[in-house]
Amino acid sequence: EADIYQTPRYLVIGTGKKITLECSQTMGHDKMYWYQQDPGMELHLIHYSYGVNSTEKGDLSSESTVSRIRTEHFPLTLESARPSHTSQYLCASQGLLGTDTQYFGPGTRLTVL
Amino acid sequence: RKEVEQDPGPFNVPEGATVAFNCTYSNSASQSFFWYRQDCRKEPKLLMSVYSSGNEDGRFTAQLNRASQYISLLIRDSKLSDSATYLCVFNSGNTPLVFGKGTRLSVIA
C-alpha cells in the first residue's frame, strides 16, 4: 500500500468559504500532483511540484493554489469555494525517475453548496 | 491528434472471456508506459508497467508497439473482480504522466 494520505476524505461546505485540502506522503518522493476528477470522467492535472518551493500549473485551469514548503506535504487551497468546485480531488506522488510508479491518495470528495 | 486515445467502452464481457484494450499515443518521444486500474469512486492504482519486449503478470499481458505508437492490455479468463476502468498512461522525459480517459470493463456473470 502507498503511504500517501489525504484529509479530509469528505467535505461539504458553503459557498465563499476558504478551504485547504491536505496531502502528505512518507515515501520521500520529490514529485507531487493534484488532479481533479468528476464521477465517471477523466483525470485532470491541476497542479504539480517537483520539489520544495517549486510549483507549476497543470493542464486544467484552476482557481486553487498550492504550496510546497516541505517535501512530504502538498496542500491545495481554495480561497473562496463555489459550487463549480464540487468534485473529487486526488493527490499523487512519484519518485524522480520517469519509470517510477505514481501513487495516488484516496481522494477528497468536495461538495460546495 | 490527441496525446492519448482510448476506446471508452464500456466493454461488457462474460466471465472467462478474453478481452483486449488498445491505446494509441501521439508523442513519439514517449519513454515509459503503464496501465493503471481505477475502481468506481476509488483512486487509480498501477496495474502494470509496459516493457518494450512485452510482459505478462498472471492473466494480464501488456504489449508495446513503438512503430505504430500503441500499447495494449490483454486480460485472459476474465473475473467479476476485473470490472473497472483501465487507464493508459505514458510519460516523456521530465514531464507529468499523461493519463488516457480510460476504458470501462464490466465482467458479467
**What is the per-residue pLDDT across B72-92, written as a single tens digit (0 to 9) for each?**
999 999 999 999 999 999 988
**What is the per-residue pLDDT across A12-62, written as a single tens digit (0 to 9) for each?**
999 999 999 999 999 999 999 999 999 999 999 999 999 999 999 998 888
- Please report which confidence band the pLDDT of residue B94 belongs to, taking 50, 70 and 90 as the band edges: confident
For residue A91, pLDDT beyond 90: yes
For residue A99, pLDDT beyond 90: no
Q: Which residues of B touch A101 (CB under 8 A)?
A: 34, 46, 49
pLDDT at B41: 92
Instruction: Compare CB distances from B101 to A42, A58, A107 and report the shortest one's residue.
Output: A42
Indicate left, alpha or beta for B29 from its phi (over 0: left) and psi (-120 to 50: alpha). alpha
Distance CA B91, CA B46 (A): 14
C-alpha B3, offset from chain centre: 15
